[in-house]
Structure 1
Amino acid sequence: MSPNSPASPVSPKAKPQQAPDLLYSEAEEDLRSALRSLLTDRCDPASVIAATESTTPHDAELWKALATDMGLAGLLVPEDLGGQGATHREAAVVVEELGRAVAPVPYLTSAVVATDVLLGCDTTNAQVAELIGALASGRTIGVLALPLSTAPGASYDGIRADGDTVSGRITAVADAAVADVLLVVADGRLHAVDTAQDGVTVTPQSALDLTRPLATVTLAAAHARVLADSADAPVRRGLLSGAALLAAEQLGVADWCLTETVRYVRDRKQFNRPVGSFQALKHRLAELWLEVVNARAAARNAADALATANPEAPLAAALAQAYCAPMAVHAAEEALQLHAGIGMTWEHPVHLYLKRAKADSIALGTAGRHRDAVAELVDLRAP
């Protein structure tokens, strides 16, 4: 059974699932160490803030270092298709670290969502296999042309197919500005649309999170290649993977907020003593630490469920999003408040984390929508 199959009731004779391993393996810790070192050198807060003030918020050089030099764009792709043959556990470590740095790169949209959509297609199809290899190399960026708010299992429509062309308009598509290929759902089929052609217009939109820009995609009889006759299963797979690993990004955002706030209140003095010594602040930070620990368990469980093809992966992903989305927002709000006046300045990076957390809270489905999904999956619907 694929990790995107809906959870089914467990019969008395069903073999029980093995308890998930939520600890990071040695290989995952090595990956984290190498990635954090790279991000420390090339994605410092000042550089990210400067990028958001420019007309090109995406960091092309950082993307090349991550995707091509380190080979991280192909983590989820099997080796025989040109990838690294890793799992969602390793990809989640990458997403977590990118979240800690609010890195302005299209990893979640291209290396996770778009890649998993393609892996859900017939990979013996030459066009599909070629596109998977291109995304795995990092030299091509692919984006699923749906609004960022689209949740797993949500309905979507609006694009028309006419022969080998597609037409229509999609708003709030994340990272569309740097995409080389758009994966477009038209008349129930999945198409690949190259952005460097007449008939494709990508118009930037105002977005709260400037490190993950949004755009409106307008297609006017744009040439398209059919990748799958039915887009439902591939798109559901990609959105599920994205929602599960988005929890890892939210974990990374919250972990940075907690770590930096603890460091700040240790150093900041008031009345000739560290402000972190005041009992009220200790309690707030202790509660936040517990929330981050719980979020790590939820995010790791979701990634492990996908990696092991657990039939309860949809439930694990929904649980992770229902908890991690509001938790990341709370962590960022606490960081902003406990940094006091300096936290309100543009020069301090905490506003980047608050904006990312708020934007992530509605990405790939709101927490409320995921709570509804949990209730549906465990058959505990509201009366």
Structure 2
Amino acid sequence: MSLTAEQQELVTTVRAVLAKHGDSAAMRRGLETERGYDEQLWKLLCEQVGVAALAIPEEFGGIGVGLVESLLVVEELGRTLAAPPMLGSAVLGVQALLLAGNTEVNERLLPEVAEGVRTLALCWAGTHGWDSFGVTASVEKLSGSAHYVLDGVHADTLLVLTADGLFEVEGDAASVTRTAVVTQDPTRKLARIDFDATPARPVGTVNVARLREIAWAAVVAEQIGAAEQCLDMTVEYSKSRVQFGRPIGSFQALKHRMADMYVLVESARSLGYLAIAGLAEGAVEAIDVQAARLHAIDALNSVVSETVQMHGGIAITWEHDAHLFFKRAHADAQLFGTPARPLARPA
């Protein structure tokens, strides 16, 4: 997938906003807040760039350019470790609603999502992950617990995926309990949401396999951005860190290791962009998304491990971002589950 001039301009614009308002210091300030991200940064991205509106069709108040553009934004956010409601709300929540195809619900909810004033949280996983539903439906009432919910504590609208379809629940419903959970990755907040015979509005049926592929592709985009940032940090550090009277980047062994990191980043991008383009066009084979997902996991884990090693002792201090990328890599490897190994394309 080659980026068009418009897509490249979007990437440049988002990167400029993040460089000015979403650097490491801003990300760390966001960690200390209740929501876990910089709300002002999210407001700027929505108002100045329209990131939440990218994949929402024009008839529902969006820009309507598509999934690819949304995931390019996710990639840029992956470079900064910022975790505003882009992945959970503007990608997964929006795509779940679009797959359900309920015009009335979309007309009511999506314009505010596009403006960035309403957030969605997709409630899906059971105790053991995304291969099972955590919530069951009976006569338009929901019971059970959804685990690992992105933006779950503060989302305005809960979209609950069950074996009987997608349901809508107001975030402040009396019989809903939302609990923030301790996570390995401090840069992304997750929640457990409990439903106790909660009244819910049916939205429609969802192609769960396709929604899972979109979720995997979105995480792949984030992993590509994170891996590229780790590579850039490592190369920059190798130019300034002096040992034996020379920058460590001049040592051949380290040059080889950084070259291997570059190959991993670019191969992950090639596979990821292939899968994303196919998803957007509706012509992707499931195995392409699965291959991209598995390779992105391995690539980011390898790249971030090299980043930590080549930065030495400072990489494991709280003040340096390397350990945060390390934690994001291991958390992303579990997010939305993984396809089975090994992969084989049918003859």
Work out whether residues 78 and 222 of structure 2, in 8 Å CA contact, stay in contact via their aligned partners in 1. Answer: yes
Name the CA distance, whole Å, in 2 between partners of 1:177 and 1:244: 24
Work out whether residues 46 and 347 of structure 1, in 8 Å CA contact, stay in contact via their aligned partners in 2. Answer: no
Please state how far the C-alpha of 1:370 moved relative to its aligned partner.
4.8
Name the CA distance, whole Å, in 2 between partners of 1:50 and 1:59: 7
Please state how far the C-alpha of 1:24 moved relative to its aligned partner.
1.8
Residues 1:340 and 2:319 are matched in the alignment: no
Work out whether residues 266 and 274 of structure 1, in 8 Å CA contact, stay in contact via their aligned partners in 2. Answer: yes
2:157 aligned partner, one-letter code = V
Name the CA distance, whole Å, in 1 between partners of 2:83 and 2:131: 29
Deviations 1:171-199 (A, max 9, x none): 22222122111111345121011111211
2:112 aligned partner, one-letter code = A
More deviation, 317-326/238-247? 238-247
Name the CA distance, whole Å, in 2 between partners of 1:221 and 1:243: 31
**Which residue number corresponds to residue 320 of structure 1?**
292
Q: Which has the higher contact order (CA 8 A, sep 6+)?
A: 1
Residues 1:136 and 2:114 are matched in the alignment: yes
**Which residue number corresponds to residue 30 of structure 1?**
9
- The TM-score, its normalising length taken from structure 2, stands at 0.94
Size of the aligned set, in residue pairs, is 347
1:208 aligned partner, one-letter code = Q
Name the CA distance, whole Å, in 2 between partners of 1:222 and 1:78: 30
Residues 1:237 and 2:210 are matched in the alignment: yes
- The TM-score, its normalising length taken from structure 1, stands at 0.85
**Which residue number corresponds to residue 184 of structure 1?**
160
Structure 2 regions of 5+ residues with no counterpart? none
Where do residues 151-230 of structure 1 align in structure 2 (5 Å cutoff)? 155-186=131-162, 188-228=164-204, 230=205
More deviation, 250-259/41-50? 41-50
Deviations 1:196-220 (A, max 9, x none): 1211111111101122111110112
**Which residue number corresponds to residue 10 of structure 1?**
none
**Which residue number corresponds to residue 272 of structure 1?**
245
Name the CA distance, whole Å, in 2 between partners of 1:146 and 1:31: 31
Name the CA distance, whole Å, in 1 between partners of 2:143 and 2:282: 36
RMSD: 2.0
1:70 equivalent among 45, 49, 52: 49
Deviations 1:25-60 (A, max 9, x none): 211111111111111121111222233244431222
1:120 equivalent among 95, 99, 106: 99
Please state how far the C-alpha of 1:167 moved relative to its aligned partner.
1.9
Name the CA distance, whole Å, in 2 between partners of 1:149 and 1:332: 29
2:250 aligned partner, one-letter code = S
Work out whether residues 117 and 237 of structure 1, in 8 Å CA contact, stay in contact via their aligned partners in 2. Answer: no
2:23 equivalent among 34, 44, 52: 44
Structure 1 regions of 5+ residues with no counterpart? 1-21
1:34 aligned partner, one-letter code = T
2:271 equivalent among 280, 298, 308: 298
Q: 1:131 to 1:150 in 2, by over 3 A?
A: farther
Name the CA distance, whole Å, in 2 between partners of 1:115 and 1:34: 22
Identity of aligned residues (%): 35
1:248 equivalent among 221, 225, 234: 221
Work out whether residues 75 and 91 of structure 1, in 8 Å CA contact, stay in contact via their aligned partners in 2. Answer: yes
Work out whether residues 150 and 365 of structure 1, in 8 Å CA contact, stay in contact via their aligned partners in 2. Answer: no
Secondary structure at 1:221's aligned position in 2? strand
Name the CA distance, whole Å, in 1 between partners of 2:258 and 2:150: 33
1:141 aligned partner, one-letter code = T
